[in-house]
Amino acid sequence: MKQGLLITGLLLLVGCTGITEYADVIPHPAPADVAGYWQSVGPQSELVSPEALATLVVMADGETLDCRQWQRVIAVPGKLTRKRQDEGWLNITEQQDIYPLALNNNQLAYGGMTLQRVSKLTPECALALEQATEAQRTP
């Protein structure tokens, strides 16, 4: 009985997004106050270690890159979108993870973390962004 309720709940949550294939997601242009580079502020419970670092790149065209660093770099491309115009922003990753974004007093709440705007990327995330951009251009 409990397992049936859990499965039903998960199916409802997946259905809320209306996303079946990442390729079908159309990126929405990012608002000016959201576009840019965002980096975690101090230790974050959503990261594997207190030393881990999370960076979110939001490009003006709505393409994103979720870059997480600790002992290695994991960078996942994504797309900024919304389900409806009156709802908040979502980042849908290539792995079909869905993370809401909320801007509050120059800090971005993202995936259970608090990020602040930074002027440049870490060298590791800059390289990951370059590689992801190149991969996107190559058919």
Which of 2-6, 13-17, 61-65, 89-93 bottoms out in mean pLDDT, i.e. has the lowest? 2-6
pTM, entire model: 0.81
Average pLDDT over residues 52-61: 95
Tens of pLDDT, residues 67-124: 999 999 999 999 999 877 667 899 999 999 999 999 998 899 999 999 999 999 999 9
CATH of 20-137, one of 3.90.550.10, 3.40.50.450, 2.40.128.500, 3.40.50.150: 2.40.128.500
Residue 29 has a pLDDT of 95
SS3 track for the chain: CHHHHHHHHHHHHHHHHCCCCHHHCCCCCCCCCCCEEEEECCCCCCCCCCCCEEEEEECCCCEEEEEEECCCEEEEEEEEECCCCCCCEEEEECCCCEEEEEEECCEEEECCEEEEEECCCCHHHHHHHHHHHHHHHCC
